[in-house]
């Protein structure tokens, strides 16, 4: 092979590697994000230590800054998690979260609402799940919701983030009321699921607790264990702060308690006019997020759904 052809081959290989690298990491490129109203400014912070109880892995939970911050750890012995002291019939739930740095395939950080402990065969969930990465992938956020235990009808959507979530805290938020459920990242709406009469049975409606957890999701999150958690890079530590829990606190004595009488919408901002629909600014920001960052939606998953769910049309 001549020197010319060798140089050509090396140049081609370099361009190929560069293009592949650019493709893989393109979603990490800094974006100019849309301007939005900060919904997180509408609600007060709560002291995490008094608002939550240990769910599991108590020895891996550490409260800092007078209980306003908490770290949860995952190692080969255990993960860890917190559960809210109260159950909510609806509300706004938010936390500033800083994810574990380094290689983290199989690590799952979850910030979600559930009532599986009270309704094991017909439970509801609203999920934010942050899925760890290996050398080829960045952390991603998966959102999901379902009702009445219908896991098979989950409504998953996955997004890349436009920042490195391991460098500092970022806001991850859920607005859930009788009109819609909205998922936010740094106050930008990523997804809205509206409550319509066409599918009432898949809209979460029973009181739920709020959970913050870190756990080994190797089998579930990495194609059947293709990239299991490598504990030589552990422990994996996630930090939560600036926690917000506002809404209808359900009566523990009433299984399906409602706040419609005690908290009419005029006195309850979470279920009131201000939060029953997105503003035009928020709609434009959500359109940006979905065009730029969403890489999976159940509405596009034809192999899974031969007949698409009604809301996809």
* Residues catalogued as catalytic: 125, 129
List the one residue out of 298, 285, 312 whose CA is nearest residue 155: 298
Structure-block tokens of residue 244: 């917000």
302, 307, 309, 313 alpha-carbon torsion, rounded to 10°: 80
CA distance linking residue 311 with residue 313, whole number of Å: 6
Phi-psi region at 263: left, alpha or beta (left = phi > 0; alpha = psi -120 to 50)? beta
128 in Cβ contact with 288 (< 8 Å): no
Residue with tokens 């159950």: 87
Residue 208 in contact with residue 117, Cβ under 8 Å?
no
| Count of Cβ atoms closer than 10 Å to residue 102 Cβ | 12
Nearest 5°: the CA angle 68, 142, 120 is: 80
In whole angstroms, what is the distance from residue 154 CA to residue 144 CA? 6
Tokens of residue 264, six digits: 């009419």
Q: With CA atoms as reference, report the closest residue to 115 among 10, 267, 264, 255.
A: 255
Supply the DSSP string of 192-260, one letter for each residue. EEE--TTSGGGS--S-EEEEEEEEE-HHHHTTTTTS---GGG--EEEEEEEEEEEEEEPPTTSTT---T
């Amino acid at each position: 092979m001549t020197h010319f052809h060798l140089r050509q081959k090396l140049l081609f290989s370099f361009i190929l590697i560069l293009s592949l690298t650019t493709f893989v990491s393109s979603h990490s490129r800094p974006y100019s994000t849309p301007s939005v109203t900060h919904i997180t400014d509408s609600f007060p912070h709560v002291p995490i230590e008094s608002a939550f109880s240990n769910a599991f892995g108590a020895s891996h939970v550490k409260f800092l800054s007078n209980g306003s911050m908490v770290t949860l750890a995952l190692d080969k012995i255990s993960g860890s998690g917190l559960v809210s002291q109260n159950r909510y019939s609806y509300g706004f739930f938010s936390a500033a979260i800083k994810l574990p740095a380094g290689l983290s395939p199989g690590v799952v950080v979850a910030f979600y609402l559930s009532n599986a402990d009270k309704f094991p065969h017909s439970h509801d969930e609203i999920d934010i799940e942050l899925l760890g990465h290996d050398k080829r992938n960045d952390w991603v956020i998966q959102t999901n919701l379902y009702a009445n235990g219908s896991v098979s009808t989950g409504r998953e959507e996955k997004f890349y983030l436009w920042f490195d979530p391991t460098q500092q805290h970022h806001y991850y938020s859920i607005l859930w009321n009788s009109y819609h459920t909205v998922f936010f990242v740094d106050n930008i709406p990523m997804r809205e699921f509206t409550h319509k009469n066409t599918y009432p049975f898949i809209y979460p409606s029973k009181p739920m607790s709020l959970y913050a957890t870190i756990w080994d999701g190797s089998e579930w999150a990495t194609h059947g264990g293709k990239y299991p958690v490598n504990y030589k890079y552990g422990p994996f530590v996630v930090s939560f702060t600036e926690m917000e829990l506002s809404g209808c606190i359900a009566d523990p004595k009433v299984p399906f308690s409602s706040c419609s009488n005690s908290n009419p919408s005029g006195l309850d901002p979470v279920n009131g006019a201000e939060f029953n629909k997105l503003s035009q600014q928020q709609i434009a920001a959500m359109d940006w997020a979905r065009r730029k960052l969403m890489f999976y939606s159940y509405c596009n998953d034809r192999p899974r759904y031969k007949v698409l769910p009604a809301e996809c049309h």
